Structure 1
């Protein structure tokens, strides 16, 4: 009888010890930011559509009826194994995503070389066909995240650029103007090259002139908005991603010849907005369990000679 009593006591202690250790393990996982159910291999699988819906919900974004932000490849119902964010979904990016077992690319800019991603933009385009075949081979979906990206509060691109340039303390959501401590144009150019990781920029202006009021317009805003910003805001320097040389650049040149001290810095389209998609990956990762989000920079397509 005493042996039976001892056995029951031992069993009870073992059960209590097991429960205590289980709870401690779960608590430790929680402290580490790991979902215990995921650690046990039971994380919910998400489809491309479910992730797109989650982004809109978490970003407080209203679905748009007229937008370029549509699926360019793949299926909405395919289960996502990994996510890559980037500016342009180049062949290099697609192949690297495949190596990483990531079958969902979220790209800020077009996949097929025109704003609406019309594959028949140039008839019988063999590069488009080969790219489509590569995407099909790896079963990779591409979603363009452009209009929604700029609709976030804050705008993911301008916020990402300000963050990477260490200008967040001067940044205000929804505003294109920043006032920073005065730097010479040369110092400002060097700061942007270093902080944003850009090899070369194009500049119009006196490298010794002082710059404090900055109009920050990464990407391709177009001549009318670039010029109207200068006219209305009177910045010391206009910073853009790209421009039409026969529009904004000539306006800046003539403006200076007539006595203005406005300067211009052209960063390059891809590199000027890349920090936005990098920050978007940081924003998205904590909202997903069991799916890795990786930012891959598409980089500058040019070599400089």
Structure 2
């Protein structure tokens, strides 16, 4: 697609596209694991082509991006059934900023953990990813490929099997959904200041202070996936959320709260006995917290394993080669 993959033909050019493909797939799927699986599948198809066919493809990156996007489209299309089987609310997998933990990123894109290859910008902010979840699969693919990665509609049409004009309409519809998520909020420093006060009030179990920091219409959504304790439905209202947070502090002695970036934005991480058990992302407007997304499902916290100890997962080679 376009010039994004024009780094040379053949296997070497294909291997060099891994980072870009992971970035595309994560934004399309909201899951590091599923993004890696989609990219692995695309590489498997690439290496499954006859050698002479691969050599005929002028831009391996364009071919791989198209295939990866189609795989993601299929995954998104089947997501509704899978989400219906999911226990409780489903949230995107949160991403850490390794630099904050004194962890160096893996050298090269082939050997790094997939989460380390994802560029942290506004297009992976939790508020943004949650809005993407409200889109139809076709809207999401058209919007992400065009508005985030700047692919032309003529090429997106090849992914979706629709006309360029239809793809343009899909992206426009998705853009309208995004509106509120892109409303300018406080600077990172301003957000961090609010969350620092939330952390202090939470640690002190100061319900009155928490109520003052939460918007009266705030909403907390927790994702435990049936593998960790979490409220099955969103908690609505600043006062109810404040009482819930205080109750959590009461029931979890020894819980350590840390100020850390979550998907590139200020957030809070909870550790117990040195293990990350909750990663919370926040939306802040008018000096108050309006949304909290708390991920507790341990399967979604694997990229945070470095915060608990050495990362030992062995990276997979592209396409299993």
TM-score by length of 1: 0.24
Greater C-alpha Rg? 1
TM-score by length of 2: 0.24
Between Structure 1 and Structure 2, the one with more helix by share is: 2
Q: Which has the higher contact order (CA 8 A, sep 6+)?
A: 2
